[in-house]
Structure 1
Amino acid sequence: MAATATASASTSAIGSSYPSTSSSSSTAPKTFRYPPIHAFPPFYTLQHNPVSRAQQLSQWRALILDYCRSHRIFSLSPLPSASDASGSSPHKTLFANASIQRSLSPESIRAVLADLVEHKGAAWEDQLTTAKKSAAAGQGNNAKAFIYWKTPAQWGDAIYEWVMATGQNKSIMTLFELNQGELVESQDFYELPMPILKLALKHLSSQGKAQIFAGSEAEDGEGVKFV
């Protein structure tokens, strides 16, 4: 009976929605507060029951988007990269909680990211950078997902708002200037991954707000004219 009660309690907590009051993790930046579910051990094991799993994945989607928005993280992968060696790496903070000695496995992280992609909250890198959309996109633990804490359309709107506010309309800018130039250093879209930037500009082009010019060879040779 005790085991049954424990299992029931675990499923109930996993299946519940985010509480309105959140608690802070000891490893979290002071500006980001994790929800209580982040300190709940079963959260790090994907549930087999379809209903519980769907609710659990919904909680992971919300947490990932909030975390990446707060930390200005544009992509995540099932396995940490060489640049993720610091203690603030998402694999040591977002996908793990040292205080309870729990973490998502690479396979579970890939499943969580795949669910985020399915719900239009992310896109696999190879979906955006290859000419043909492969059914195998996102397979393997080395896959990278671009996180849409702002959608490409929202990024496009933010870029155009900045263009109009700074008088850059009617001017031509290279994608490099728009991505890494001094003028945009204080903007949220600074260092936005190029595949997302191109989608954002395509959104503006479809609205008649931008004209995209192909570069000769180098990617940063491409340009855009805002109208």
Structure 2
Amino acid sequence: MARSTHTTPSGFLLPSIHSAEPFFTQQPNPTTQSKQTETWSRLILSYARHRNLFFVRVEDAETAGGEWDEILRNERIKRKVMPPHLSHILSEMVAKNQAAYEPPKQTRSVLLYWRLPEEWAEVLHQWVTSTGQLTTILTFYEITDPPVPSPLSGIPAVLLRKAIAILGKTGRAQIISIADGEGARFFAATGK
């Protein structure tokens, strides 16, 4: 089969390398493996951003019909990423700060940083400012599930907490305990 790009049912454009059988096999040559892992990392992050996915687990390589099937499998060439290979890719992503093990102290599930926590902090502050909610206490639920979808819709609490902590270091936010869980108050940016 000739290598070609392919558009998935979700509308994601897979690169032509996804049609190459060796792409799905962990390579023995360290240089080749490093380049392959880098390509897989970019593919996973761009797909996660496209689908608004935040987590990938080693088990996703074995789960047929899952949300990661479009990239972890290629039925056209009858190939899929095996769990040890995906585990290696994820460990490299964590080492390069493209992901973090979540929950911590395990190595089978990662939180993907298709935006770094610092970038999420800026997106969050910009959203709060543009919606006129500075100095208002917002619950995590109000931020992650707003009535009008926003760039923050669906963001996991662990990533939201990191973004708020980053804003807190510059005096632009503080986490507040409230009856229903956690919330935050945001402040205008101060001059530097």
Is 1:109 the counterpart of 2:86? The answer is: yes
Higher strand share: 2
CA, structure 1 residues 85+101, in 2 after alignment: closer, same or farther (shift >3 Å)? Answer: closer
1:78-227 to 2 correspondences below 5 Å: 78-80=58-60, 86=65, 89-90=67-68, 92-127=69-104, 134=105, 137-138=106-107, 143-182=108-147, 185-215=148-178, 220-227=180-187
AA paired with 1:170? T
AA paired with 1:122? A
Offset at residue 215 of structure 1 (A): 4.3
CA, structure 1 residues 30+74, in 2 after alignment: closer, same or farther (shift >3 Å)? Answer: closer
AA paired with 1:24? H
Unaligned runs of 5+ in 2: 188-192
Match of residue 11 from structure 1? none
Answer with 1 or 2: which has the greater Rg.
1
Is the Cα contact below 8 Å between 1:211 and 1:224 reproduced in 2? yes
Deviation track 1:59-87 (CA, whole Å, cap 9, x = no partner) reads 11111111111111111001139xx663x
Offset at residue 89 of structure 1 (A): 2.6
Match of residue 24 from structure 1? 6
* CA distance in 2 between partners of 1:152 and 1:193 (Å): 12
* CA distance in 2 between partners of 1:56 and 1:226 (Å): 42
Deviation track 1:144-189 (CA, whole Å, cap 9, x = no partner) reads 111110111111111110111111001111112112232xx41121
AA paired with 2:29? N
AA paired with 1:180? D
Residue aligned with 1:214, SS: strand
User: TM-score if structure 2 supplies the norm length?
Assistant: 0.88
Is the Cα contact below 8 Å between 1:76 and 1:147 reproduced in 2? yes
Match of residue 41 from structure 1? 21
Deviation track 1:68-110 (CA, whole Å, cap 9, x = no partner) reads 11111111001139xx663x631x2111100000011111111
Unaligned runs of 5+ in 1: 1-21, 128-133
Instruction: Number of aligned residue pairs: give it.
Output: 183
Offset at residue 48 of structure 1 (A): 1.2
Deviation track 1:114-151 (CA, whole Å, cap 9, x = no partner) reads 11111111111022xxxxxx4xx31xxxx211111011
* CA distance in 2 between partners of 1:207 and 1:24 (Å): 44
Is 1:72 the counterpart of 2:52? The answer is: yes
* CA distance in 2 between partners of 1:109 and 1:189 (Å): 27
Q: Which moved more, 1:157-166 or 1:206-215?
A: 206-215
AA paired with 1:110? S
AA paired with 1:195? V
User: TM-score if structure 1 supplies the norm length?
Assistant: 0.75
Is the Cα contact below 8 Å between 1:176 and 1:221 reproduced in 2? no
Offset at residue 30 of structure 1 (A): 5.7
Identity of aligned residues (%): 30
